[in-house]
């Protein structure tokens, strides 16, 4: 469950335009939230077992409400569905007893469990109810908690202005009550929000205040955390000397207090910093004794600390950090020109990633099998109970027959025997039918999980191929060859994107076209967009579902057209315009892609082009049962006519 929350935070951060900030947000989400949730899971399950033993013995009073509240709160990091169930029981009992504080805290528990589900609108709805009720009963402690949780939820929604508003309200209330530890926490949270807003000055101001207060309270864990946050800010400001200084100070404290998660995290952070000094071409040599003078020594330092981070995270089964540092180690070897080690490290990263995914899927399959066994056992119990009840009814029927209708007892017995035979036959058929349905449903669910894993592995293999192409490109000096490899890499990525969407979808056989086109555009734009480029992009495409056999060829066609637009249509110093529109008539889908570039040479058409890209577009459109047209009208217009798999089968 911890990995599910981490994944959702990565998705929530996905659309940041500042790539460096995106990388840092994802990294912090993985390396800070991950260990907290893993720790909560380990401790929480033991606590839940203890609370569940107490629950049947509890009297129906406010203590039972508190017991239900503790269960709901503990479940939210492990199984929020169960957490919501106990929060509703808490609310029902608190209302029955007329205990307002119990009601208010039940709504708070509902909010945090919905947050765990990533249902942020519902979470905010219940947090605002909690805020109102806490003010009604003048409970400032819970009011402050509600304000803080609202700020956190807005931050997860990437509504940073609202997040800042409620974090500041929470800070003000903490200062009124004199809660120094919570003041320090709020200052740190506000620093994080300012950092996400790109206000490095304010982020540094509040993080420094949080550090000073934590030092005054001798709260070593928060001292280390704030040192790390300040290091991140200096890292973003490209003041690597100061960033390293703060990270080394944080590392020393984590080692002193025996915090293995913090130690692993900072070892990897330091390694990444050394590598970033080398890969940041705008950076000049730093006059700092912490940083080696030459490029090779810096990379050597970075690789050494990344390996330490990997070993430390492996020791505590901190898989998210292990994956992150392995990926960074691959980048470090690549920067050093050691492509063999870079590929080896990347493959290790893929192996760990696949292991996590496979373990989760195996757990799902095991849960399905256990559920199937329990369902069958429950069915057997129900059938046994029905058999006992039936026999009881039969005995009563026989006695009544003897007393009332002694003369026709023979007929009754004969009829009863026939009825029993029919019932037995029907019962057996029903049991067989139910058993077949259960087996079929379980088999389908298992196959769906396995198919998702297959798509996941295909996507990872394509990613490995893409990285191999990238590494090969770095080893070439011929610009034409490098450009050809980059184009091939884009085609591989477009197919990989489809498989990624398939294993993330509920239905593993279909793709939603609108979101796929947006993601494909973002993928191509990340490669070809240069700083300051002005682009006007619009997608007039309805949310339609396509089968995989249509999506893959269509994705390759669009990848070619987008690549050509970035390479030839969008000229430096001019505003680029790109439009995609989808319509449908009785025979064909029509996808139109147009730009404001100079277009193809006047004397050439699609058929006369010898380039692989244009040949690929032509052949793939035929494969889709259609064709491609080109015309020029204040820019290039490509009309791709195609049919989905159902219409193509009709023709066949």
Instruction: Specify the DSSP class assigned to residue 578.
Output: E
Q: What is the pLDDT of residue 607?
A: 63
**CB 638, CB 593: distance < 8 Å:** yes
Q: In this predicted structure, what is the pLDDT of residue 209?
A: 93
- DSSP string of 324-339, one letter each residue: HHHHHHHHHHHHTT-H
pTM: 0.51
Asked if 541 and 517 count as a contact pair (C-beta separation under 8 A), the reply is yes
pLDDT digits (tens, 9 = 90+) for 515-568: 888 888 888 887 777 667 788 888 898 888 888 788 888 888 888 888 888 888
Q: Indicate the Cα dihedral angle 609, 610, 611, 617, nearest 10°.
A: 60
- Residue 560: partners with Cβ closer than 8 Å, 6 or more residues away: 491, 613, 614, 616, 617
Say how many residues make up the chain.
Answer: 652
Q: Which two tokens stand for residue 388?
A: 């006992």
Provide the pLDDT for residue 495.
72
* DSSP tag of 384: H
**pLDDT value of residue 526:** 77
Q: How far is CA 600 from CA 95, 595, 597, in A?
A: 73, 12, 9
Torsion angle (degrees, nearest 10) of CA 595, 599, 604, 607:
-20
Q: What is the pLDDT of residues 170-183, one digit of tens each?
A: 999 999 988 888 89
Q: Is 116 exposed, middle or buried (0-12, 13-18, 19+ CB in 10 A)?
A: buried
Q: Which residues, given as ranges, of the chain have pLDDT below 50?
A: 1-40, 42-43, 282-290, 292, 367-369, 373-374, 397-398, 400-401, 403-405, 412
| Separation of alpha carbons 593 and 578, rounded Å | 7
Query: Which CA distances in Å does 516 have to 401, 519, 550?
Result: 73, 5, 13
Residue 450 pLDDT: 57
Per-residue tokens: 108: 């708070």
What pLDDT score does 503 carry? 52
Cα distance between residue 626 and residue 614, in whole Å? 15
Contact in structure between 164 and 193 (CB atoms under 8 Å): yes
* Token digits of residue 240: 């690597």
Alpha carbon distance 431, 444 (integer Å): 20
Q: Report all structural domains of the chain as residue ranges with CATH numbers, in order of start.
A: 1-138 (1.25.40.10), 231-336 (1.25.40.10), 530-651 (3.30.565.10)
Give the three-class secondary structure for 84: helix
pLDDT value, residue 212: 93
| % of the chain residues with pLDDT over 90 | 19
Taking the C-alpha atoms of residue 534 and residue 392, their distance in angstroms, rounded to an integer, is: 83
Cα–Cα nearest to 187, from 232, 138, 223, 136: 223
Residue 181 · residue 159 · CB < 8 Å: no
CA angle, 608 then 610 then 615, to 5°: 90
């Amino acid at each position: 469950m911890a990995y599910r929350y981490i994944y959702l935070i990565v998705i929530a951060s996905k659309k940041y335009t500042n790539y460096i900030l995106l990388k840092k947000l994802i990294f912090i989400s993985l390396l800070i939230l991950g260990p907290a949730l893993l720790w909560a899971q380990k401790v929480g399950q033991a606590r839940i077992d203890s609370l569940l033993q107490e629950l049947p013995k509890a009297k129906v009073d406010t203590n039972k409400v508190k017991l239900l509240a503790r269960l709901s709160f503990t479940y939210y990091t492990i199984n929020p569905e169960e957490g919501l169930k106990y929060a509703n029981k808490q609310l029902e009992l608190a209302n029955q007893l007329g205990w307002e504080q119990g009601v208010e805290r039940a709504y708070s528990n509902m909010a945090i469990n919905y947050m765990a589900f990533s249902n942020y609108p519902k979470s905010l709805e219940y947090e605002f109810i909690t805020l109102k009720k806490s003010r009604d009963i003048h409970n400032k402690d819970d009011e402050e908690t509600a304000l803080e949780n609202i700020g956190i939820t807005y931050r997860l929604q990437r509504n940073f202005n609202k997040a800042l508003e409620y974090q500041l309200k929470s800070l003000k209330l903490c200062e009124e009550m004199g809660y120094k530890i919570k003041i320090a926490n709020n200052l740190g949270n506000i620093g994080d929000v300012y950092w996400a807003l790109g206000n490095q000055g304010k982020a540094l101001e509040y993080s420094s205040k949080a550090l000073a207060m934590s030092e005054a309270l001798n709260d070593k864990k928060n001292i280390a955390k704030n040192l790390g946050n300040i290091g991140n800010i200096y890292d973003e400001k490209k003041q690597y000397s100061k960033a390293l200084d703060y990270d080394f100070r944080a590392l020393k404290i984590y080692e002193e207090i025996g915090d293995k998660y913090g130690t692993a995290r900072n070892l990897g952070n330091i390694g990444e910093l050394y590598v970033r000094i080398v890969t940041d071409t705008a950076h000049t040599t730093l006059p700092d004794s912490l940083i080696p003078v030459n490029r090779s020594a810096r990379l050597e330092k970075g690789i050494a600390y990344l390996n330490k981070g990997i070993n430390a995270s492996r020791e505590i089964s901190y898989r998210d950090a292990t994956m992150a540092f392995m990926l960074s180690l691959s980048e470090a070897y690549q920067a050093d020109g050691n492509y063999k080690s870079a590929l080896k490290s990347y493959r290790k990263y893929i192996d760990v990633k696949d292991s996590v995914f496979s373990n989760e899927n195996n757990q799902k399959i095991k849960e399905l099998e256990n559920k199937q066994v329990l369902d069958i056992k429950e069915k057997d119990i129900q059938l046994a109970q029905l058999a006992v009840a039936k026999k009881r009814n039969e005995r009563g029927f026989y006695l009544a027959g003897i007393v009332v209708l002694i003369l026709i007892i023979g007929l009754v017995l004969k009829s009863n025997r026939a009825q029993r035979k029919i019932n037995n036959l029907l019962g057996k058929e029903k049991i067989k039918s139910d058993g077949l349905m259960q087996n079929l449903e379980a088999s389908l669910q298992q196959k769906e999980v396995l198919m998702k894993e297959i798509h996941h592995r295909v996507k990872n293999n394509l990613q490995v191929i893409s990285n191999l192409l990238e590494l090969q490109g770095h080893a070439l000096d011929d610009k034409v060859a490098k450009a050809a490899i980059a184009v091939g890499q884009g085609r591989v990525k477009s197919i990989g994107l489809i498989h990624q969407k398939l294993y993330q979808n509920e239905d593993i056989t279909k793709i939603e076209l609108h979101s796929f086109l947006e993601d494909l555009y973002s993928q191509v734009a990340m490669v070809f967009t240069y700083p300051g480029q002005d682009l006007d992009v619009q997608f007039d495409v309805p949310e339609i579902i396509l089968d995989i056999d249509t999506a893959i060829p269509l994705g390759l066609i669009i990848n070619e057209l987008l690549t050509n637009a970035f390479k030839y249509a969008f000229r430096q110093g001019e505003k680029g315009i790109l439009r995609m529109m989808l319509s449908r008539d009785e025979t064909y889908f029509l996808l139109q892609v147009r730009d404001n570039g100079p277009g193809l040479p006047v004397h050439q058409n699609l058929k006369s082009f010898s380039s692989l890209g244009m040949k690929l577009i032509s052949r793939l459109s035929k494969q889709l049962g259609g064709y491609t047209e080109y015309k020029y009208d204040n820019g290039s217009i490509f009309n791709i006519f195609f049919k989905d798999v159902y219409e193509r089968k009709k023709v066949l």
